[in-house]
Structures are given as C-alpha cells and as structure tokens.
Structure 1
C-alpha cells in the first residue's frame, strides 16, 4: 500500500449536495479497492489560474489516501469520464510528506508556520 494525495477541481456549477456526492463517489472508489482514506479536505470555491472550459472558478477537493499501486489507473479513468471534473492531479507521497501531512492535520505547527508567525 502506497500513500497518495489527490486534488480534484470540480466544475463550479455543482450544488453543495452534488459536490458532496462527487466526493463520496471518489472516496468510495478508494475504499472499494481495499484502500483507506487518511484525510479529506474540501477547499470549496477558488479562482483558477487560467480559464478551463470557459470557467474562471472551480470547487477544489483534496484527498489523502492509501491504496495499491495498480488502483491509480482505475481512478484516473473514472476521473476522466466524469464531466463534473475539470482537472485532477494524483501525487505519490514519500515518508516525509506523509509525516508533514500527519502533523499538519493534527494541528501541530510545522517549521514554516513557526517562521511565518515570528
């Protein structure tokens, strides 16, 4: 089992219920494949750096999960098929990223956050 982080940008025309349903759909795909959800973070509506399909905003969602390595290709196919998904990026996390995310999610201040406060 490897650790991954998935960021998805959904179309901004989704209602709140449709946005939550889409999140559950992709989180369910992970658990059905034998993976587990580590952390889920819906960012909500944000501006895009450049227009995608004539849209300037998107609904952002970040999912950190563990899954077998062959699962990502199946997930990619589902993301490409879904018309509500504007863009997606799946990143494999190394041990340092996993440790950093665990600290961040538990509320412990990291080195960069301490430097910003000073």
Structure 2
C-alpha cells in the first residue's frame, strides 16, 4: 500500500538571542529535508521574539517560527530527529492538519478605531436605556401593593 503525503503544522522556538545566520541554517535544514524527501513547504511565518511563559533550556525568551508543509511520515520523522539534536531549536510541536485543510490569507487592512468606538458606544447607550426602561416596567408590575 502506498503512503500518502499529509499536511503538518510545525511550531518551533529558537533562543531569543540567536543570530539570524543560525535561524537561516535551521530553515535550510527544514527546506533541505523537505526537498530531499519529496515534501513541500506550504507556508512560513516568523512570529518574532516573545517572552516564554517559563524558562526553556535556561532561555527566558524565544523566536517563534510557524511552518506548514506536506510530506510523507518518514520525512516528518527525519525533520523531528534533526530538530531534537539541533541546539538552535529549544522546543517544537508538530500537529497533523486535516486532509481538507485550506490555507486562508489574512488581509492586513487598517481600521480607524475612533469611528468604530463611537458607533459601539452609541449602540451600547441605546441598548442600556432600553434595558433600564424594561427593568422599570417589570419592577412596577411586580409591586401589586402600589396600585
């Protein structure tokens, strides 16, 4: 039976102070393994340096990299093996994506926050006035002794 290439999402963390040359070397390892073993890189996203929730291998911050790719299970095993022995990768997590997964492009459209805030505040004021009136009407109905 022939194996089918699956889609995976891999999030890995470099030490926050790692030089960009070393970051590129890890990218070359990933890309080289995918090319050699008939895999395909679908998406790469650098989330930048963030503070870790707890120290990982004595590092307080790390650079997060998210990649999506398709490959055979043997290729994934080789990528994970190489990440385990590479000191430039302090932590990683791989998740298999559903077969019907579709990559969605995110549009970075600037939004004017002032106009939206005014609209939301206006809507909230109107709805809270209506709510106060409804509560007052209910309170009057509940007090039969006042009639």
What band does the TM-score fall into relative to the shorter chain? 0.7 to 0.9
Q: Relative to total residues, which structure has the larger strand share, 1 or 2?
A: 1
Distance (Å, rounded) in 2 between the aligned partners of 1:92 and 1:70: 14
Distance (Å, rounded) in 1 between the aligned partners of 2:32 and 2:88: 17
RMSD: 2.1
State whether structure 2 residue 53 is matched by structure 1 residue 56.
no
State whether structure 2 residue 82 is matched by structure 1 residue 78.
yes
With CA pairs under 8 Å and 6+ residues apart, which has the higher RCO, 1 or 2?
Answer: 1
Runs (4+) of structure 1 exceeding 3 A deviation are: none
The alignment's TM-score, normalised by the length of structure 1, stands at 0.79
Distance (Å, rounded) in 2 between the aligned partners of 1:89 and 1:74: 14
Residue 19 of structure 1 and its aligned partner are, at CA, apart by 1.3
Aligned residue in 2 for 1:39: 43
Structure 1, unmatched stretches of 5+, are 109-117
Aligned residue-pair number: 106
State whether structure 2 residue 132 is matched by structure 1 residue 90.
no
The alignment's TM-score, normalised by the length of structure 2, stands at 0.65
